[in-house]
Amino acid sequence: MVNESDSMVVVPEHALIAHKLTRLRDRETSSVLFRNLAREITQILMSEATRDLSTTKDERETPLTSFSGESIAPRIGIVPILRAGLGMSDTAHEMLPMARVLHVGLFRDEETLEPVYYYDKLPTPPNVDLALVVDPMLATGGSAIAAISRLKETGISDIRFIGLIAAPEGIAALRAAHGDVKIWMAAIDERLNEQGYIVPGLGDAGDRIMDT
């Protein structure tokens, strides 16, 4: 179902990701360790997902001489999809301290698996040029699609999605709904089960991050 030659879906081949993801999935991993691992994997994905950001010239001086440096050009918004996205957004914000953080609250209805919107305070017109949406799990894709649709409604057109584990179904749905949004994931798993959980996955990311 996932088109392996699709340049809009990036799964970095990285030994650190493979090592950390193994521990993240492990049911014996504590909530404290789970949060640390999620942060560390997010760091790697963030550096991949921001590799090609545009920069402007920034003329400065070292103690010895003047030099021409660079600064990130776009105003960036980090958009965690609540709750589980919070497990990635602090790391993203540490790496991009000049970014704004825009929260979007969504949960999946357990019966229908449809996303239910409960919170956002997105400014219109937007005060960012580029939105980096973060959510560890892309299962049916419903939550990511709804959050990105909402961002587009406010006028943000440049959007990237960064997550930890996807189901092929979620990738296909997100690509179909928002073909302009590039996706970075640590892994694309086998499938969704009947309850809409990613298999093998890691269980409920929000519960494991928040220890609920």
The contact set with ligand PRP (CB under 6 A) reads: 81-84, 106-108, 113, 115, 135-144, 170, 196, 204-206
Find which of ligand URA, ligand PRP, none residue 162 binds, CB within 5 to 8 Å per kind: none
Among 81, 147, 205, 209, binds ligand URA (CB under 6 A): 205
CA distance 76 to 141: 23
Find which of ligand URA, ligand PRP, none residue 211 binds, CB within 5 to 8 Å per kind: none
DSSP 196: S
Helix/strand/coil for 100: strand
CA distance 186 to 41: 7
Instruction: Give yes or no for residue 139 binding ligand URA (CB under 6 A).
Output: yes
Which one, of 22, 15, 47, lies nearest residue 37 by Cα?
A: 22
Residue 52 makes CB contacts below 8 A (sequence gap 6+) with: none
C-beta of 126 vs 206, nearer to ligand PRP: 206
Which one, of 163, 164, 169, 173, lies nearest residue 196 by Cα?
A: 169
Return the structure tokens found at 103.
């929260």
Kindly indicate which of the ranges 24-32, 55-63, 153-161, 203-211 contains the residues binding ligand URA, using the contact rule CB under 6 A.
203-211
- Count Cβ atoms within 10 A of the Cβ of residue 110 and give its class: 0-12 exposed, 13-18 middle, 19 or more buried: exposed
Instruction: Give yes or no for residue 201 binding ligand URA (CB under 6 A).
Output: yes
Kindly indicate which of the ranges 27-35, 99-107, 117-125, 198-206 contains the residues binding ligand URA, using the contact rule CB under 6 A.
198-206
C-beta of 77 vs 201, nearer to ligand URA: 201
Binding positions for ligand URA, rule: CB under 6 A: 84, 137, 139, 197-198, 201, 204-206
